[in-house]
Amino acid sequence: MSSDKKFVPVMITPFDLKAQVDLGVVSQLIDFYLAAGVKGFFANCLSSEMYSISESERLELTKHIVRYVDGRVPVVATGSFGLTIEDKAEFTKRIYNTGVNAVILITGHYANVDDDDSILMKNFEKMFRLTDNIPLGTYECPAPYKRILSPEVFKSLVDANRLIYHKDTSILPEKIKAKLDIVKAAKSKRFEFYDAHSPNAMTSLREGAKGMSSIAGNFYPEILVWMCDNATDPSKAADVEWLQSEIARVDPLVHIAYPMSAKYFLRKRGLPIRTISRAHALELTPEQKKTLDQIHDSFMGWCDKLGIKPVNPAEATLSSAWQDPAI
């Protein structure tokens, strides 16, 4: 594990006019992210509308992303789908066979909301036994409900030496620090901790998080990449603190009508992403569009102040020269 900090976007899913997954635009989106400097991808996640696409679409989408990325950066994807632990283990094997570097387990998939942590741990231990040596990760996903791992459970999972990835949604800095202290003391050198909450970026990165994996990267990945690259640089402290205040200011606004808001924003940036979502059926209101337009203006101002060149999707895309070998 290198000391480099990473921004890993939680990928959205573009749809065509028939609300089918548009793999051609997925490829252009990957080019855009890579040009922005991301160092990994989280595919088949909540931002991907994973609960609104079929099992076959989850597999097809993940397989396409792995093939198109072609080893340039790591790819992880959610695999804990199914009614039973056995079902989840089976789908985990199928998603791993797409070529991902690790399979992510949703913490809320391993215990009911009113179950105590002993049940959660029992189910995780069973999952570990049923998945051979597949590299795994955890994600405190907000759906079906947000199951935050306690420090005790988190330590037990890290010490099991099966996890290499964790996406945290604790939000509170003191809870994140408690987990990061566990990571620092752990024997595993492969384990990477990512914070999902953009307003925590500066603090979490300085406390030792490997990187960020937040939805803000589906609006302005360049900004999160810059933050990951500079948060721990004393010479950039003033700019980092200023940018963090700006990210925190707009963060609640980009969550409204997400992921439709991200699709509108990326379309405004020049990507051919339609504002079609299976998870959010309503159109954006004029007021919501106006707010996103204002955030776009702020983003351009951030880039100007920090000397960041915004990615031009037309210059970034390699899609026209690439063909999926499976076709």
Residues 49-103 have pLDDT tens digits of: 999 999 999 999 999 999 999 999 999 999 999 999 999 999 999 999 999 999 9
Rounded Cα distance between 295 and 261, Å, is 11
Rounded Cα distance between 193 and 207, Å, is 11
319: confidence class by pLDDT, cuts 50, 70, 90? very low
Q: Please name the residue that has the structure tokens 């803000």.
A: 216
Domain presence at residue 267: yes
Looking at the chain, how many residues does it have? 327
Rounded Cα distance between 160 and 134, Å, is 13
109: confidence class by pLDDT, cuts 50, 70, 90? very high
Q: Would you say residue 224 has pLDDT above 80?
A: yes
Cβ-based neighbours of 154, under 8 Å, separated by 6 or more: 166, 179, 182
Cβ-based neighbours of 190, under 8 Å, separated by 6 or more: 1, 135, 164
Q: Which domain holds residue 250?
A: 6-321
Q: CA dihedral in degrees (153, 215, 185, 122; nearest 10)? A: 20
Rounded Cα distance between 299 and 322, Å, is 31
Domain presence at residue 127: yes
- The CATH number covering residue 140 comes to 3.20.20.70
Q: Tokens in use for 134?
A: 């597949």
Indicate the DSSP class of residue 320. G
* Cα separation values, 226 from 64, 65, 239, 254, Å: 28, 24, 10, 19
Rounded Cα distance between 293 and 151, Å, is 40
Indicate the DSSP class of residue 148. P
Q: Would you say residue 327 has pLDDT above 70?
A: no
Encode pLDDT of 154-184 as tens digits: 999 999 999 999 999 999 999 999 999 999 9
Domain presence at residue 327: no
Encode pLDDT of 199-216 as tens digits: 999 999 999 999 999 999
* Cα separation values, 39 from 42, 182, 304, Å: 10, 24, 23
Q: Number of structural domains, the chain?
A: 1
Rounded Cα distance between 123 and 84, Å, is 10
Domain presence at residue 312: yes
Rounded Cα distance between 131 and 88, Å, is 9
Domain presence at residue 275: yes
Domain presence at residue 1: no
Rounded Cα distance between 203 and 275, Å, is 33
Domain presence at residue 30: yes
Q: Please name the residue that has the structure tokens 């951030």.
A: 302
Domain presence at residue 10: yes
Rounded Cα distance between 264 and 47, Å, is 14
